[in-house]
Structure 1
Amino acid sequence: MKTNNDTISPGRFQAALLIILLSWCSSAYSSEGFNFYVQSAMRAATIEDKIANLTKALELCGPEHGKALKARILYNRGSAYVKKKFYQQAYDDFSRALELEPGFAKAYNNRGIVAQILTSTDHAINDYSIAIYLKYDFYEAYYNRGIAYSGQGLYLRAIDDYSRAIAFNPSYANAYNNRGVAYLKLRENDRAIFDFNKAIDLDPRDAAFYNNRGVALSRISQFTSAIDDFSKAISLNPANHVLYSNRGVAYHRNHEYTAAARDYSQSLRINPQDDEAYRNRQFALQSAKIPSSPLESIPKPNPLYRQYAEASYVQGTAYLEKGYYDLAIMEYNRALAADPGFESAYSKRAIAYAEKGNFTSAIEDYSFALRINTDNADIFYNRGVAYFNQKLYAQAAEDFSSSVKINPRHAMSFNNRGSAYFNTGSVQRAIDDYSRALSIWPDYSMAYSNRGIAHYFAGEYTKALTDLSESIRLDPGDFISFHNRGIVRYIRGEYKEAMDDFSASLKANPAYSYSAAWRLLVAAAISKAEYENTVKITAPWYSAPSPYWAHTVVRYLLGKVTEAELAAIAQKGVDAETVGKQVSESNFYVGMNRLLVVKDSARGNEYLKKCINKDLNFFYPNVVASYELTRDKGTTR
């Protein structure tokens, strides 16, 4: 089912500018025959007659007529050739016109159109740019260059050009439409809908505008409104199979399966080669529990398309392995256009989307792949990871469960399901899953690290220490496990060992400021001399301010930021959750600093009480602050 709808109407080329400038044909220096053919070309009933008359006019156009007039006749014949799709002849005429009149902006624009049709996009962009240089308010050239940029995937540049076209011609409906398409490609759905609304206001008879707005509305799950738009588009252009297919997708996603199947069938009647509509209809019929009719058997596309799909898939995978994610996505798009049932192309494109941080598109592609193959543990696992990254932990846990049901020895699925459980507050279930992962893969360092953290939050410090130590043995460069073991050792009163762990964490990753902060605090717990020496080796790394919160915390502990300044900076997080964490950490580090460095237990405890944030699950300052507030007051540090 096409939830990631790639059937957006493409940007349409600006029509060739068929302007015959007869003012150049003054009888003062023109023969009667020449004038006759020019006038006949203007009145010609067919394109063929227009070309024939302009050709005769060119034969009679001598030096006395001047280069400019001949350039315009060539320009007009080239424009007529475009109408007939004789693109090479058109290109040659526009080039000859430009040799005669190098400042002819409209000829550059039209040659650019032809160059783009002939797949020379870079050449087209160059011609449009020259046209704009010659005529700064040439809105058609901006529009056409925007189409060229869109074809190269340079959507921000395209949006800039469409915006310039609109600035010079505010009634340019096509420019609003194409800018909306570019916004859709960037998944800026609200901006896209604004532009499609404007295009429809300017030209309410264009089916493509309604179709594109329907696609945008579908993306934000406004399926009823999307269906209305697709229906309007169909009323304007009932022969377009894409419109029926898109409305079918909207019905499908709105759980109206019978209506969806009906639209997919209509799409296939118009275009029996629409393999994706065929596959979507099968899903809709299954969901509606309607058996397929023998009359609905539609042939699939030519199997030779698979060869093109596999070639693009191989190239896409090569790009993916090199980290060229946009190029990989482009190749997988081509593979899926040739073979919409290519499961591996959906899976690989999903990986590329995920690497770019676009988890929504990744989930859509994994879901497509799972509709084709419901028995693939790795796809369930990967979709679970994407859900996890969106903090949709329940959905993630469900996918990891599906993965281990298919492959009971999928250790990473057990590990990740454990993390999903952990983030929903189920610590014991998390520990059980980490243990299952380790029973399958005994050297799985990440599972030891995760189980160690879970034991820490369960108050099982000895078990936490054992697991974190095993993680470090298996992966000596794991600075996070060193850091977490340092906190456990601090709680156990093993200050010297904790100091060593925080130093090891910083050796593995000198930029990990939280370990620098903890090393300062633990040094103060050991002795004044240890603290002063730690300040001396830490200060050079934190001499200048930084936008990073943890860096600011260390600067506070070094005395370079005041308590009031730290509290103010804590309020500047990117969202409410971040602000909550930073405010709690601000109180935590001020409290620990007062407790261990200033030796002001009363004020230190006040800050530690304020730092405990019950709204934050598994927030390590909560554990340490609670420990400090409840520990035996007679214990020496």
Structure 2
Amino acid sequence: MMEDANTRAEKAAERGEAHRLAGRNEAAVKAFTRAITIVPGYPFALGSRGQALWAMGDLDAPLADFDRAIELDPRLGWVHLERGRLLTGAGRDQEALADYDQAIELEPDHAPSFLDRALLHRFAGRLEDALADLDSAAELESRLPYVFGERGEVKRRLKRYEEALADLTLAIDLDPDSSDFYLERAWVRHELEQSEEALADVNVALAARPDDSDGLELRGILHRLAGRTVEAVADLDRAIELNPGALLAITVRGGALLALRRPDAAYADFSRAIELGLDDADTWVGRGRAALDRHMLEDALAAAEAALEREPDLDDALLLRGAANEKLGRYPEAARDLKRFSLVAPDIFLSWVAEVSEGDSDLGHAMGESLKTAMAETLTDAARDLVAGAEAQTVNTADFAEVGAILRVGDTDDAAVVETRLARDPGDAFALALRAVLDRSAGRRDTALADLDAIVRADPAAEWATALRRTMDPGDPGGADRLTGLGLPPTIEAICVLAMTGGVDLVRTALPDGTWILSDMLENPPIPPPA
């Protein structure tokens, strides 16, 4: 008995499907084509041939088959899904999304449709939509590892790290041989600051795929954080060799190279990252630090400016600009940056002060001297205002409130503090002057004059000390002596004499060494003055 056309077409399609599932796509195409020749309007054979043609690398022919199959039978959810996948690969995302929506509407219990739509949402940055689809897929397929692995990645991007860790651990339990799941879990553990566990996971991933650039990048980061800088650079070198556009690897290597005192290579890395589009403030700071180490001062200054354009109060950028300005001899600008740094990030500032105070740091010395200049400018301005107020009989010592917030001026009015300072440096001219004012207030004029004479003997050019000495006698025409009878704290009175005698430069010479100012600030944290 002769078989009818439909039966023969079905048998040809069955043979084609067997070939396709076994990966014999050419044989599958021939069998499906035979079925379509027997029954031209055979939707299953058209859709299945489209799958085999697409697996062979073709795009146009399978799309035509999918289109024709859907035209003949719009209710074929699986063909909508296959066409959606092809369109996704072709970058036609909106059309693909419409197909995924249709596939889910037609077959709401088919987990792969939710999964593929979730992938499309994730790549488009619609993370919450992706998560909703992955939740649906997980409810339908509780033993499908890829669903949980993908959901773990989405939750990591949503910064839901503990949930991501749970999903990825389940994915690994379901498929212990997947290096992708181990690598993704390593990233999550890195975010959770579980560095040792993260390193163990990334090592498992790299054992399976030694040339995975993402894995090498992460391991390089973990080595860098653990202080294994040489190992970090080795991993990052290989990651960048495999993927020259790996921005994170390039910038992390730049920081590691700076730590290894290889500023030329570090500068090249940060510059490359900026060229590739990583135009953020931190990358500019990295390039600026490398430029500073290469003595490219103007370049360092320009990098700091670029960083501050992007983040106006970034502490690292303020410190970089201050250092560049100091090395360029622009002390007022350097001082302003350091002062701003101390106010916007006092905790970080104090940590930095501790570091530079403990070691023989060129940068610490330079910034200490810049701070000394800032103190001199602020003190001089306030002192001149105070003298002008005294002449107008409107003296208000509250004008020194900002000064007191930056440099604990009032502390030096205590005789014991002054003596401690002199014990540290018997030649501290400013402390000698303060003791002289204290002695004069106590009626010990001869002792006061002896201290001022000692200053002049050590530095005959110290006109300010001579001017202060004249205030010990009434009738001095200089103006500063008018403060003598106002009961001002000795520090303020001495600073006023300095300011009126020689201005900022003179005030600066009388202040203690810049590193002492840094140390004082460490002991007495800066507090911004009230608005």
Partner of 1:56: 34
How far 1:229 sits from its partner (Å)?
1.1
What's the CA shift for 1:146?
Answer: 1.4
Take 1:272 and 1:208, find their aligned partners in 2: how far apart are those partners? Answer: 17
User: What are the superposed Cα offsets for residues 201-239 of structure 1, whole Å, 9 maximum, x if unpaired?
Assistant: 222211111111222333344332222111101222335
Structure 2 residue aligned with 1:96, among 49, 62, 68? 68
Higher alpha-carbon deviation: 162-171 or 371-380? 371-380
**CA apart distance, 1:261:** 4.0
Normalising to structure 1: TM-score of the pair? 0.48
Partner of 2:183: 211
Structure 2 Cα separation of the partners of residues 415 and 183 of structure 1 = 43
Instruction: Report the counterpart of residue 42 of structure 1 in structure 2.
Output: 17
- The yes-or-no answer on 1:401 pairing with 2:322 is yes
Shift of 1:118: 0.4
The question of whether the paired residues in 2 share the 8 Å contact of 1:116 and 1:148 is answered with yes
Q: Work out which of the residue numbers 148, 160, 180 in structure 1 matches 2:120.
A: 148
Letter in 2 for 1:147: L
Structure 1 residues 237 and 344, CA gap change in structure 2 (3 angstroms) = closer
* Alpha-carbon separation, structure 1, partners of 2:376 and 2:35: 85
Cα distance in 2 for residues equivalent to 1:222 and 1:387:
30
Question: Is the Cα contact below 8 Å between 1:376 and 1:403 reproduced in 2?
Answer: yes
CA contact (8 A) 2:331 2:373 kept: no
Q: Deviations over 1:76-126 (max 9, x none)?
A: 111112322212222221111111111111111111110010010111111
For 1:130-209, what aligned pairs fall within 5 Å after superposition? 130-209=102-181
Aligned residue number for residue 232 of structure 1:
204
CA contact (8 A) 1:142 1:161 kept: yes
Determine if the alignment matches structure 1 residue 252 to structure 2 residue 230: no
Which of structures 1 and 2 has the larger relative contact order (alpha carbons within 8 angstroms, sep 6+)?
2
CA distance in 1, matches of 2:169, 2:219: 19
State the SS of the aligned residue for 1:99: helix
Contact 1:417 1:433 in 2 (8 A): no
Q: How does 1:305-316 map to 2 (within 5 A)?
A: none
- Does 2:338 correspond to 1:417? yes
SS of 1:376's equivalent?
A: helix
Aligned-pair CA distance for 1:258: 3.3
Distance 1:414 1:139, change over 3 A: farther
The verdict on how the C-alpha distance between 1:616 and 1:201 changes in structure 2, with shifts beyond 3 A counting, is farther
Question: 3-state SS of the aligned residue for 1:75?
Answer: helix
Counterpart amino acid of 1:417?
L
Distance 1:340 1:203 in 2: 41
Asked whether the 8 Å contact 2:323–2:334 carries over to 1, the reply is no
Tell me: CA distance 1:403–1:194, structure 2 relative to 1, closer, same or farther (3 Å). farther
CA–CA distance in structure 1, aligned partners of residues 75 and 375 of structure 2: 73
User: Superposed, which structure 2 residues align to 1:90-129 within 5 Å?
Assistant: 90-129=62-101
Q: 2:143, 2:238 → 1: CA distance?
A: 35
Give 1:174 shift.
Answer: 1.8
Query: Could you tell me which amino acid in structure 2 is paired with residue 56 of structure 1?
Result: R
2:97 and 2:372 map into 1 onto residues whose CA distance is 56
Aligned partner (choices 269, 282, 300) of residue 376 of structure 1:
300
Report if the CA contact (8 A) 2:342-2:526 is conserved: no
Letter in 2 for 1:342: A
Give the secondary structure class of the aligned counterpart of 1:137.
Answer: coil
Change (3 A) 1:250 1:147: same
Residue 184 of structure 2 aligns with an amino acid whose one-letter code is N
Distance 1:455 1:385 in 2: 32
Cα distance between partner residues in 2 of 1:387 and 1:200: 41
Residues 174, 199 of structure 1: 8 Å contact kept = yes
The alignment-based identity, stated in percent, is 17
Return 5+ residue gaps in structure 1 as ranges: 1-26, 293-299, 301-335, 351-361, 440-452, 461-613, 622-637
Residues 551-603 of structure 1 show CA distances to partners (whole Å, capped at 9, x for unaligned) of xxxxxxxxxxxxxxxxxxxxxxxxxxxxxxxxxxxxxxxxxxxxxxxxxxxxx
Contact 2:214 2:239 in 1 (8 A): yes
* 1:417-437 alpha-carbon deviations (Å, 9 max, x no partner): 32332353999969927959x
CA RMSD, Structure 1 to Structure 2 (Å): 4.6
Aligned AA (1:42) = E
Q: Secondary structure at the match of 1:177?
A: helix
Following superposition of structure 1 onto structure 2, how do residues 382-531 of structure 1 map, counting pairs within 5 Å? 398-405=319-326, 415-422=336-343, 424=346, 432=374, 456-457=401-402
Cα deviation code 1:58-79 (max 9, x no counterpart): 11115xxxx5xx1111111111
